[in-house]
Chain A
């Protein structure tokens, strides 16, 4: 037991960008990299998926089909395959290597950000597009009867409602993305799983490092769930069943 604790003590700092003789977070290895690979694609994906979700539902096939093709591709293949195609695959083409894009694509970190953004956008957009389609016709009728323009209706009624209703499904996507980031150690990046793999190959002992990695992912997942619970309580309050208590308040 003591041996286990002393081993945890020497291994733990590695997961937070430190080591036994350097300060915590002196490098971005471990937790910081995992968080960056989670938050940046999440933010970009959310921003991109709003216009794309409307495009996905557009009546014109010239707008809707390409978006459908994109989600079909990115939801139809594993993220690891996408990462390998972007990291190793694109590097095979001289056009890519001679272009100014190569400055970014030669960096494994940029390749990972690109892959995760494209992947999470596809999923987020489908969640949102589904909620846009599933909107209550009475909300639309109400908006039309007030004489709202289409743009105004979408911005003030349809989108806010769809975004709210997307929350439960979206929280799943956020957790899936967090766990998906663990593949980056295969393209030389040292995220939480990467640190665990390094310790594993140094000590030949898989138990402690992967246990620590698992515990960190578990805590991050718990944190995400808490945040989404708070958000759902706030923004999905209208979906809660009416209790005697709340009825008394409204009357």
Chain B
């Protein structure tokens, strides 16, 4: 009997030892998985998108194993802070507030804010024109904060994911949506969005939208961020970044 226990204990020790060694080499990447075309789960159940391709390229460049941790957007920072992931590569805008608790890489792409509404809508994108209108936005994003503070008096509906507010835009529950041009444009070219268009001019408000999208780590992981920055630099140099960018956006989105 004791033999069995000893053998079992040894096996357990070996197993934990192995998984520990493995864990040291594996970076856990926090990703939302509901933000096409940056990250989404396709029909086969696998993660695809710009962020996913960038992650694979970065991890190959850094010569580390990477494992995705799919996590809903509003819990993605707490998951990193409570050590359930090591990096967030999920189109996170670099804002002052987030910088207080996270370390960010150099921005890897830049986006603009747009309002999207029905083609037949006469919505004016001014504080007066938007007053009293029902506007949808994804929660815990730079757009939510901007919408609430910049345009007082509008009826803000906060959604968990972009696909949810797009559904309600189509069904007519909301008058318009505020979001990222890089996310809304691909949707606008889909069949669902045939009757919808961008209203007003795309804009950037650094106060809310920050300085582009970055890769985030815990504040103490400065060495990791330095490694990520070096790898990003290398991807730009060898043309991989440009190729991935053009695959999704027909354009280089890194500036």
Give residues in A with beta carbon < 8 Å to B.
88, 91-92, 97, 102, 106-108, 186, 188, 190, 197-198, 200-202, 204-206
Contact = CB atoms under 8 A, between A and B. Distances in A.
B121 interface: no
Contacts of B75: 200, 206
B104 to A, nearest CB: 14
Given A188-B157, A197-B139, 8 more contacts: A91-B168, A106-B171, A106-B173, A200-B75, A200-B78, A204-B81, A205-B78, A206-B78
Contacts, number: 40
A88 B161 CA distance: 13
Nearest to B159: A188
Given A188-B159, A198-B158, A91 B78 contact: no
Most chain A C-beta atoms within 10 Å of own C-beta, residue among B101, B136, B140, B159: B140
B77 A186 contact: no
B156 to A, nearest CB: 9
B167 interface: yes
Contacts of A188: 136, 157-159
B172 A106 contact: yes
A201 B74 contact: yes
Closest 4 CB pairs of A and B: A201-B140, A91-B171, A201-B74, A188-B157
A205 B82 CA distance: 10
A55 B140 CA distance: 48
Contacts of A91: 167-168, 171, 173
B222 interface: no
Interface residues of B, number: 19
29 contacts: A88-B164, A88-B167, A91-B168, A91-B173, A92-B171, A97-B171, A97-B172, A102-B172, A106-B173, A108-B157, A108-B173, A188-B136, A188-B157, A188-B158, A188-B159, A197-B139, A198-B139, A198-B158, A200-B74, A200-B75, A200-B78, A201-B74, A201-B139, A202-B140, A204-B77, A204-B78, A204-B101, A205-B78, A206-B78
A204 B158 CA distance: 17
Contacts of B172: 97, 102, 106
B87 to A, nearest CB: 16
Contacts of A88: 164, 167
Contacts of B16: none
Interface string B141-177: 0000000000000000111100010011001110000
B164 to A, nearest CB: 8
Contacts of B171: 91-92, 97, 106
B168 A197 contact: no
A102 B160 CA distance: 23
A168 B108 CA distance: 60
Interface string B68-109: 000000110110010000000000000000000100000000
A107 B168 CA distance: 11
Contact of B160 (A106, A107, A186): A186
A212 B186 CA distance: 40
B100 to A, nearest CB: 10
A91 to B, nearest CB: 4
A7 to B, nearest CB: 15
A186 B101 CA distance: 27
Contacts of B167: 88, 91
A190 B156 CA distance: 11
A198 B160 CA distance: 11
Interface in B30-74: 74
Contacts of B164: 88
Contacts of B160: 186
A204 B168 CA distance: 27
A202 B100 CA distance: 13
Contacts of B159: 188
Interface string B203-229: 000000000000000000000000000
Contacts of A198: 139, 158
A200 B72 CA distance: 13
A197 B74 contact: yes
A197 B139 CA distance: 9
A194 to B, nearest CB: 8
Nearest to B167: A88
A248 to B, nearest CB: 62
A92 to B, nearest CB: 7
Nearest to B76: A204
